[in-house]
Amino acid sequence: MDNIIVLENVTKTYGMKDGAVRALSGVSLTIQQGEYVSIMGPSGSGKSTCMNIIGCLDRPSGGLVLINGCNTADMSERELAALRSRTVGFVFQQYHLLPSMTVLENLMLPLRYQGMEKRSRKKTALDILERVSLTDRARHLPSELSGGQKQRAAIARAVVTRPKIVLADEPTGALDSETGGLVLALFADINRQGTTVIIVTHDGHVAAEARRLVRILDGRIAGDSHV
Ligand SMILES: Nc1ncnc2c1ncn2[C@@H]1O[C@H](COP(=O)(O)OP(=O)(O)OP(=O)(O)O)[C@@H](O)[C@H]1O
Ligand SMILES: [Mg+2]
């Protein structure tokens, strides 16, 4: 199988000199196309930093990052953004829905970037919203949604383009067990269809859905096991 994600000795330092924070201290991790991986670790251990680097939202301070065969160090901001929109669906810890657009429009936007025509965009977006039980909120603004509904909308947006990689940072933190179950079923489904899924979670039940568990501690990989 293909290695879709390769991190080799990746470091990340925020800030400078005296105030510098070392968020990652030499992370090496290889993930193959189609894997389902969970990442666990204490608060502040570097999980979101690692996801941002995998998702091409941030560059490492050192080390090698290959995403879908592309070395991100060699790429311009524009090339990185193109790689990201082609390859990655991101569920952020803080949702990041566009506030002036309805839920439906938020989902249709990445499909427009992919060049899909309007009628198909709408149908594709509504299909995914149904999967996360948000059909009745499609025409609402994010500010009119509950926390859990926003989270489901953010998840729907991340998977709507059928990206090769879906990265989800605490995707079920704001969900009850029923809607959490819907979301996990959706991830399992897209993973069966070949999408690489990586989930950061503090919840052992969520982690148990994955077939590989990576543990991060103090900016290092402290465990990596197939389950
Ligand atoms: N933009 C930033 N500037 C400075 N320090 C940062 C920045 N982002 C993260 N850090 C620091 O880097 C370390 C790792 O942060 P990170 O967000 O990756 O942790 P995390 O494992 O995702 O934690 P949590 O479970 O609380 O989300 C922390 O010490 C954090 O304070
Ligand atoms: Mg985090």
Question: In this structure, which ligand is nearest to the CA of 46?
Answer: 1
Task: Domain 3-226: state its class.
Answer: alpha beta
Which residue has a Cα nearest atom 12 of ligand 1?
Answer: 23
Q: How far is the CA of 50 from the centre of ligand 2 (A)?
A: 9
pTM of the model: 0.94
- Domains of the chain, residue spans: 3-226
Cα(69)–Cα(90) distance, integer angstroms: 19
Ligand 1 neighbours (beta carbon < 6 A): 14-15, 21, 23, 41, 43-49, 93
- Kindly report, residue by residue over 40-62, the tens digit of the pLDDT: 999 999 999 999 999 999 999 99
- Kindly report, residue by residue over 161-185, the tens digit of the pLDDT: 999 999 999 999 889 999 999 999 9
Kindly give the number of the ligand 1 atom that is closest to the alpha carbon of 41.
Answer: 21
15, 86, 109, 128, 183 from 131: Cα distances, Å: 41, 23, 18, 5, 8
